[in-house]
Amino acid sequence: MNIGPIELPNRLFVAPMAGVTDRPFRMLCKRLGAGYAVSEMVTSQRALWASLKTSRRADHDGESAPIAVQIAGVDPTEMADAARYNIDRGAQVIDINMGCPAKKVCNVWAGSALMSNETLALRIVQAVVQACAPLGVPVTLKMRTGRCDGERNAVALARAAEGAGVAMVTVHGRTREQGYSGLAEYDTIAAVKAALRIPVVANGDIDSPAKARAVLQHTNADALMIGRAAQGRPWIFREIAHHLESGELLAPPATHDVKHWLTEHLHDHYGLYGELTGMRTARKHIGWAVRALPGGEAFRSVMNTLQSCDAQLRAVATFFEDLAVKYPDLPAANDAHLSRQA
């Protein structure tokens, strides 16, 4: 599958998640089977580009190609400038955020709020495509199904964006009003796919190989994007890839391998954020990794009190080494649940 001229190794994508899909996490997911990963959104407001947060988000050091940066904003000229700025710093694909319902973004009419203003949305798409096309960089768009139940305009907006030169559209199967509540629906994604010639990516609630297969069948989408289900379980990409290729389910990973992946991820994470911020922001990743495992909840409480990266690393090593004695292969979440009750 291609995004414009760029060929991807497979059609399993990591969803952009602010505060989660930083460079270390994206690289981990790519090592474990994801074919493509989009960065956390970067604001189009020039005044913030020099901030530590934005410069960390624009850090692609050592990341395998293609490097995709998501930009968010409401002003077409600013968005075009943001696209050029990120291309100068290594972006090979620019993704426009029209999918995020966060208040910080939507209060200024960015993110999914833009879907309610199709004229402005299209002006932004046109300005960004005009900025990127001379540099040979494809532009993609991430959106929801619409503002609310009665206003699902994803097909109209996706068609207009295709007409303006967008190379790929991703649709999260919820409305803006839904936030993350309820269930994702896939009929609108199927309608967008049927209406477009460019690749369409299905997103929302894909959390297992079986669900991935079902969503592909229902939508006929060209690719799948996975977000929350990869938190603490980045090997879900290779599990899905294996199932789509063979129809079989991949055996669970060895507990020792999970320890190794998490340790590698933590080293990379501390390298990007430094000791103090690294130690604090690593807690959520460690928490996700252990939450469904026997003893995971108790471990998480203790781990949250540790005050150095070294202490976190030692605690993680001990937790997984102890777990491996009883479970050489990672226990399924259900086993863990039973053992927590026991």
Ligand X SMILES: Cc1cc2nc3c(=O)[nH]c(=O)nc-3n(C[C@H](O)[C@H](O)[C@H](O)COP(=O)(O)O)c2cc1C
- By CB under 6 A, tell whether 22 contacts ligand X: no
Write the interaction track for ligand X spanning residues 160-179; mark x where CB under 6 A is met and - where it is not: ------------x-------
Choice between 96 and 323, CB closer to ligand X: 96
Q: How far is the CB of 331 from ligand X (least distance, A)?
A: 23
Choice between 171 and 323, CB closer to ligand X: 171
Positive or negative torsion for Cα 194, 196, 199, 201? negative
For the chain, give the number of residues.
342
Indicate if 100 belongs to the active site: yes
SS3 (DSSP) at 207:
coil
DSSP string, 44-62: S-GGGTTSHHHHHHT--TT
Largest interatomic CA distance in the chain: 63
Q: Are 277 and 223 in contact (CB under 8 A)?
A: no
- By CB under 6 A, tell whether 202 contacts ligand X: no
Region 49-88 residues binding ligand X, contact defined as CB under 6 A: 70
Residue 100 has a CB neighbour count (10 Å cut-off) of 24
Q: Are 47 and 173 in contact (CB under 8 A)?
A: no
- By CB under 6 A, tell whether 15 contacts ligand X: yes
- Given 6, 11, 13, 16, the residue binding ligand X (CB under 6 A): 16
- Given 99, 199, 234, 296, the residue binding ligand X (CB under 6 A): 99
Q: How many CA atoms lie within 13 A of 104 on its CB side?
A: 5
Given the residues 29, 100, 132, 309, select the one marked as catalytic: 100
- Given 20, 131, 132, 154, the residue binding ligand X (CB under 6 A): 20
Region 121-150 residues binding ligand X, contact defined as CB under 6 A: 142
SS3 content of the chain, % helix, strand, coil (to 5): 50, 15, 35
Active site residues: 100
List contacts with ligand X (CB under 6 A): 15-20, 40-41, 70, 97, 99-100, 142, 172, 203-206, 226-229
